[in-house]
Amino acid sequence: MTKTGILALEDGRVFRGRAWGADGERTGEIVFNTSMMGYQEILTDPSYAGQIVTMTYPLIGNYGANGDDIESRRPFAEGLVVREFSEVESNWRSRMSLDDYLVANGIVGLSEIDTRALVRHIREKGAMRACLSSIDGDEASLIGKARSAPSMTGRNLVDVVTCGDRYEWPNPALDAPAAAHTLDPLLAVRESLASRAGSETFRVVAYDFGIKYYILRYLEAFGCKVTVVPARTSAEDVLALSPDGVFLSNGPGDPSALSEIVATIRQLIGRVPLFGICLGHQILALALGGRTYKLKFGHRGGNQPVKNLLTSSIEITSHNHGFAVDPESLDPAQVELTHVNLNDGCLEGFRHRHLPVFSVQYHPEAGPGPHDATYLFEQFIDLMKAGK
């Protein structure tokens, strides 16, 4: 039997459609992603903690779900909103339908709404709090729940998604298919990277602010033995591991709420090569005296054009962030801007002029997604080679 689901926004806008996935009620920031595929990677990306994701591509679920295309230990998105949910999945790798996957992981789904209207509303009004329900038909009540939900501004979600204890990568217990080189959609890329990486091994400590498995797979392909550590690991404990480099991962929430973590990263600057992605990029900027701000509706998708200011080349890149770094807040005598978004001029990357420190806002590992920015991992390797 078809159930009615409701998406209520804090500004009073309401969308009614078909409920699927898990029964329940979820609140979070309503955002949209422009990717045409990769819904399972999106759901399991910890950067989506506290958010309800709308897919702009109209048909979602047609290739099902499996145990390989995951980015973390579990899904972190609060809900999934689509135009049309495919009840039939057709792919040799599929192990269950997307509906069953949402049920198994407690994620509420909504379909048969005008996602074009919803996305346009978000673009015009900005990302906002919402309540997604498959059990409550009272619109006024759901709007009130959306308005009382936590705001993403000032919110620390890193402590929610980070690992409890440090662990080593490669880790077959977490990434058995990729470790065994079976069912790996990036097998050809991994083999190409391995052939260029050479035989030298690098010891990398990766801060888990919400790290994605594909980042770890890339580091592994480049010959890195990675120790993943919880977000609040001290600088002293990291340096005690004698790393050749330190990686700062992606993650959810407001970077300005992470003052203690920023202070820790500040202690590492100049002592070991640093490479940051997404939230790691923002944390590095704050550690260097910069500021961050909230974007109106964020960048989320696999098709963002970025200009490399050092080479004048254009990269098609994958993004997932609602905050950005204010380039005017960075000291130009110390920091060189390296990448800019061609859609809105947002800062996408920088490097320190004198120290082995650099970062980008987007995702160069992009699994699934474009591979234009893979060279950034090579730059990290080069910095570690120079430091040895």
> What CATH number does residue 33 fall under?
3.50.30.20
Q: Are residues 345 and 288 in the same domain?
A: yes
| CA–CA distance, 310 with 267 (Å, rounded to integer) | 28
Active site residue 121: no
Alpha carbon dihedral 68, 70, 75, 80, in 10-degree steps, equals -90
66 and 91 share a domain?
Answer: yes
pLDDT at 173 over 90: no
Do 10 and 115 belong together in one domain?
yes
Do 141 and 226 fall into the same domain? no
Q: At what angle do helices 375-387 and 187-197 cross, to 10 degrees?
A: 30
CB 268 within 8 A of CB 274: yes
Question: 272-328, pLDDT tens digit by residue?
Answer: 999 999 999 999 999 999 999 999 999 999 889 999 999 999 999 999 999 999 999
Look at the chain and report how many structural domains it folds into: 2
User: What letter represents residue 159's amino acid?
Assistant: D
CA distance 293 to 172: 38
- What mean pLDDT is predicted for residues 19-43? 96
**206 shares its domain with 318:** yes
Q: Tell me if residue 299 is catalytic.
A: no
Q: Is the same domain home to 345 and 209?
A: yes
Give CA–CA dist 142/280, Å, rounded: 35
Which one, of 321, 370, 347, lies nearest residue 152 by Cα?
321
Whether residues 194 and 52 fall in one domain: no
The set of residues, in sequence order, having a beta carbon less than 8 Å from that of 364 and lying 6+ positions away, is 218, 277, 317, 373, 374, 375, 376, 377
Pair 34, 182 in one domain: no
CATH of the domain at 216: 3.40.50.880
Radius of gyration of the chain, Cα coordinates, nearest whole angstrom: 20
**Beta-ladder partners of 368:** none
State yes or no: is 281 an active-site residue. Answer: no
Please check whether residue 115 lies inside any domain of the structure.
yes
- Write out pLDDT tens, residues 70-96: 999 999 999 999 999 999 999 999 999
Give me the catalytic one of 112, 278, 315, 352.
Answer: 278
pLDDT given at position 182: 44
- The residue range of the domain holding 320 is 158-387
Beta bridge mates, 301: 319
Task: Identify whether 298 is part of a domain.
Answer: yes
> Which of 136-140, 189-193, 334-338 shows the lowest per-residue confidence on average (mean pLDDT)?
189-193
Residue 153 belongs to some domain of the structure: no
Predicted TM-score of the model (pTM)? 0.94
Q: Are residues 36 and 106 in the same domain?
A: yes
Whether residue 193 is predicted with pLDDT greater than 70 in this model: the reply is: no
Token duo for residue 45: 């990306």
| Judgement on whether residues 270 and 201 belong to the same structural domain of the protein | yes
Dist CA 368 CA 70 (whole Å): 10
Domain end, chosen from 114, 148, 182, is at 148
Structure tokens at 144: 């009130």
Digit-coded pLDDT (tens) for 357-383: 999 999 998 777 788 888 999 999 999
Please check whether residues 140 and 172 belong to one and the same domain: no
364 C-beta neighbours (distance < 10 Å), count:
25
Which of 35, 3, 182 lies closest to 108, judged by CA?
Answer: 3
Could you give the 3-state DSSP secondary structure of residue 104? helix
